Structure 1
Amino acid sequence: MNSRTLKSLYPTSGPTPLTAIQMISLHLHINRPHGSEDSPDPRYGPYISTLPREFNSHPLTWIMRSNSGMESEGVPLLGHLPPSVHASLIKLHDRFCQDWAAVRAYLIANSYISSKYDAYLDDIDGSASNYVWAWLNVNTRCIYYRLKASKEDPDNLTLCPILDFANHTPSGSHMTPVPSEADIWDTAPVKLIGKGFRFLSPVDASVQEGEEIFLTYGAHPNRTLFIEYGFVNKSLLGEAETTDGEVDVQDVVESLILGHKSGVFVKSVLEDEGYWGDWTLYCSTESAQPSWRLITALRLHRLAVSNKTIHDNAIQPWRDVIAGKREIISDGNEIAWKQSLTAICDTLITRAQASLHSLKSDGAEEYDLGSERWIPWMRENMRTLWREELLVAAAVKQRTLRGDDF
């Protein structure tokens, strides 16, 4: 099910053509099964009927219900999310709203085509919750499939029966996609749906009868997996001292920079040079370190703090560093930005410890687990997110204090 196989069902009349995500989710929206019944779609009904019937445990559902004032077991969990995760959830919600607005406009523009649109126009705002179900099925289950001339075209995706039952594994995938003719020759997209759509088992993997077959969704941090798919990798065991992880520190660093009188100037420079935001800490079994973007931002911040006057000429040494003309601004600047990094880690550690305690003491007994038995599982996912922030920050702080080079 993709933009090509559905194109004949949805003419392009309207303000703008529908994207693949919008078109597929619209089709699911219209043909969603009622209760335990099968989908009414005569063509894709058998497949649609196998899709998940609800996404109550997905954080997008929580924020939608929270915004509409609905009672939901997941809504209280929003208050326990790490700030970086909550910020990513807001971006996902914005993406959903853009697609929903396009679909609403399409339904209004094409209401004369088919009476099947009438029910959705009668209560078009109320049907947003139904569209969440459709959109999440597309967002969590679509896979890349070359349909357009450009490999990077966002409409290169499809819902594929059977294959979409393959769950995620962070490593050791059982399937390796075989390039299609279009990928090999970089020509026009494949003309026949399914042509060249093959997977092979990796040479170093074997699958036994009755064993589940896994896909690797990509090298995503737990923050992305949680927001996009509604789960995390259970790579953290107990209170281990090391872990593979990534932490977005946007809120802490932004507060640090803008809290100084030079903040507006520093932000302007970082925006102009493309270094504002996307600041992260990384940790693996081999190393732990801040991202280059974070180092660059902290160097400028501490340079501006050390200058009594704020002007463009004063930051030329910083520009020389990002241009590769010099390695550092000064020894003093190196000491200063690493002190800021240590303070950032302390903030993350303290916040994570408090949040883990809150999640532990504010137990799942407050919920009616008879209706939502995913609550304890989701709370543990959120504890994993906080533990990751704690462990990554602690590892980066340790390396910083012992004087490791980054």
Structure 2
Amino acid sequence: MDGPKIDAESRISAGNGLFVRTSCPPSSLLFVVPPQALMNIKTLKSLHPTSGPTPLTATQMISLHLCINRPHGSEDSPDPHYGPYISTLPREFDSHPLTWLVRSKSGIESGGVPLLGYLPPSVRASLVKLHDRFCQDWAAVRAYLTANSYVSSNYDAHLDDVDGSTRNYAWAWLNVNTRCIYYRLKPSKEDPDNLTLCPILDFANHTPNGLHMTPVPSEADIWDTAPVKPIGKGFRFVSPADESVQEGEEIFLTYGAHPNRTLFIEYGFVNKSSAEPDVTDGEVDVQDVVESLILDQKSGAFVKSVLEDEGYWGDWTLYCSAESAQPSWRLITALRLHHLVVNNNIHDNAIQPWRDVIAGKQETISVGNEIAWKQSLITICDTLITRAQTSLRYLKSDDAEMYSDGWLPWMRENIRTLWREELLVATVVKQCILRGDDF
């Protein structure tokens, strides 16, 4: 290989991105990042030593290193090891919803903080969970800094400045959460420390279905063994296996088949652009509506206990695509139990027919139970439709003056897309029920 076949560029039509320097046949090697250039728990371990095994996870350690070496203003990072790379990272994450929540906890009401009130309930709940994860990591890093009497002339986010240090760590943590990629470093494939920050790759934009590069599996992945070298052999990326890429074309990275709710919370964007008036497919989490339905009954505590014991509490969704629209099996299962218990005495023997259904011994509990849970599903859909229509009115275009600066109009449209998705999914699922479709 003579050199990388891609260029990192900023173009008016695409912003920052990776573009192919010369035409490539399928499965061409695009570029290689040597192991020493990767930023992960192995390459950073010697820079943040402890007397014993490090108490930090990969996310915590990489975030710590970024936090300590964050560039000041427009200056370059002071880090002598990864400074040039850190200097290419985003300087702010003002448009990310986690930043809004962190700032709101400090009493700040500017920027995107007012938009928190416009998020769909399921999106807000997911954001709170992300914030909890962030807080757990930040607490572990603070404990590490205190235990190791960490002193650095480059570290100006002192622990006694709680709000400032938290916001500084949030910047570092979001770089890790939005830009790290899976990289096998541990004997177990499932180890959460199998991740790395990767120069060059950072410039790649996401696409759900366009031309995208693919990381080459390491020897450890191919042979399912622990890596031969402690930091692996570097990262190699190839062009699409079934398509040639032409000179000048942008090559993307795909983050996986995530619903827009996940993309918005984890990465700060959605797949559908504001130029598309309708969402063609989607997924809606209905946790808050179904919880209220179940727990508002005197039998609610019993139903919740059974669903938790059997592993069916939560993760209730509706989804639609060009081919179908339906509730998830988990949601159907929860609604069947709810109506079985509501119409019978509350005791364990009464729910045996429900247990038989989830065990595959029978298809349904009864005709009446099927009618009841489908009617409840219509009510759930009506609730989603009403609140989506109301929220879209609040976010209508003639309110745009409130969000006229920078990224705010774009993010406002992302939130509108989330609400349009809820409206579409609920409407189509309701139509399927009324039509008598089988689920």
Q: What is the TM-score with the length of structure 1 in the denominator?
A: 0.94
Equivalent residue, structure 2, for 1:179: 217
Q: Are the counterparts in 2 of residues 222 and 245 from structure 1 also a CA contact under 8 Å? A: yes
1:383 aligned partner, one-letter code: R
- Structure 1 position 78 matched with structure 2 position 116: yes
What CA deviation, in whole Å up to 9, does each residue of 1:97-131 have, x standing for no partner? 00000110111111166565686245355311111
Q: Percent of pairs identical after alignment?
A: 84
Q: Are the counterparts in 1 of residues 284 and 319 from structure 2 also a CA contact under 8 Å? A: yes
Question: Closer, same or farther in 2 for the Cα pair 1:16/1:45, shift >3 Å?
Answer: closer
- Structure 1 position 345 matched with structure 2 position 378: no
Match 1:358 to one of 394, 399, 419: 394
Equivalent residue, structure 2, for 1:295: 332
Equivalent residue, structure 2, for 1:245: 282
- Rounded to whole Å, the distance in 2 between the matches of 1:352 and 1:14 is 53
Question: Closer, same or farther in 2 for the Cα pair 1:359/1:125, shift >3 Å?
Answer: closer
- Structure 1 position 266 matched with structure 2 position 299: no
Equivalent residue, structure 1, for 2:420: 387
- Rounded to whole Å, the distance in 2 between the matches of 1:173 and 1:190 is 32
Q: Which moved more, 1:388-397 or 1:354-363?
A: 354-363
- Structure 1 position 33 matched with structure 2 position 71: yes
Q: Are the counterparts in 1 of residues 67 and 171 from structure 2 also a CA contact under 8 Å? A: yes
- Rounded to whole Å, the distance in 2 between the matches of 1:118 and 1:216 is 36
Question: Closer, same or farther in 2 for the Cα pair 1:194/1:206, shift >3 Å?
Answer: farther
- Structure 1 position 280 matched with structure 2 position 313: no
Q: Are the counterparts in 1 of residues 50 and 148 from structure 2 also a CA contact under 8 Å? A: no
- Rounded to whole Å, the distance in 1 between the matches of 2:113 and 2:309 is 38
| Map 1:131-142 → 2, pairs under 5 A | 131-142=169-180
Q: Are the counterparts in 2 of residues 146 and 190 from structure 1 also a CA contact under 8 Å? A: no
2:302 aligned partner, one-letter code: F
Equivalent residue, structure 2, for 1:334: 370
Q: Are the counterparts in 2 of residues 181 and 196 from structure 1 also a CA contact under 8 Å? A: no
Equivalent residue, structure 2, for 1:157: 195
What CA deviation, in whole Å up to 9, does each residue of 1:174-221 have, x standing for no partner? 212222111111111241646262222223323222222101101100
Equivalent residue, structure 1, for 2:357: 321
Q: Which moved more, 1:178-187 or 1:384-393?
A: 178-187
Q: Are the counterparts in 2 of residues 146 and 157 from structure 1 also a CA contact under 8 Å? A: yes
| 1:189 alignment partner, SS class | coil
- Rounded to whole Å, the distance in 2 between the matches of 1:123 and 1:261 is 48
2:412 aligned partner, one-letter code: R
Q: Are the counterparts in 1 of residues 274 and 413 from structure 2 also a CA contact under 8 Å? A: no
| Map 1:4-19 → 2, pairs under 5 A | 4-13=42-51, 17-19=55-57
State the superposition RMSD in angstroms. 1.9
| 1:168 alignment partner, SS class | coil
Equivalent residue, structure 2, for 1:402: 435
Equivalent residue, structure 2, for 1:169: 207
Q: Which moved more, 1:69-78 or 1:86-95?
A: 69-78
Match 2:408 to one of 363, 375, 388: 375
Equivalent residue, structure 2, for 1:230: 268
Match 1:210 to one of 221, 224, 248: 248
Question: Closer, same or farther in 2 for the Cα pair 1:114/1:34, shift >3 Å?
Answer: closer
Equivalent residue, structure 2, for 1:43: 81
Q: Which moved more, 1:380-389 or 1:110-119?
A: 110-119
Q: What is the TM-score with the length of structure 2 in the denominator?
A: 0.87
Question: Closer, same or farther in 2 for the Cα pair 1:364/1:12, shift >3 Å?
Answer: farther
Q: Report deviation, 1:263.
A: 0.9
Q: Are the counterparts in 1 of residues 157 and 165 from structure 2 also a CA contact under 8 Å? A: no
Long gaps (5+) in structure 2: 1-38
| 2:284 alignment partner, SS class | strand
| 2:258 alignment partner, SS class | coil
Q: Report deviation, 1:143.
A: 0.6
Match 1:254 to one of 291, 300, 308: 291
- Rounded to whole Å, the distance in 1 between the matches of 2:275 and 2:377 is 26
What CA deviation, in whole Å up to 9, does each residue of 1:228-276 have, x standing for no partner? 0000001786554x62211000000000111112111111111111100
Q: Report deviation, 1:283.
A: 0.4
Q: Which moved more, 1:309-318 or 1:219-228?
A: 309-318
Q: Are the counterparts in 2 of residues 13 and 109 from structure 1 also a CA contact under 8 Å? A: no
Q: Which moved more, 1:66-75 or 1:32-41?
A: 66-75
Q: Report deviation, 1:17.
A: 1.0
Q: Are the counterparts in 1 of residues 274 and 414 from structure 2 also a CA contact under 8 Å? A: no
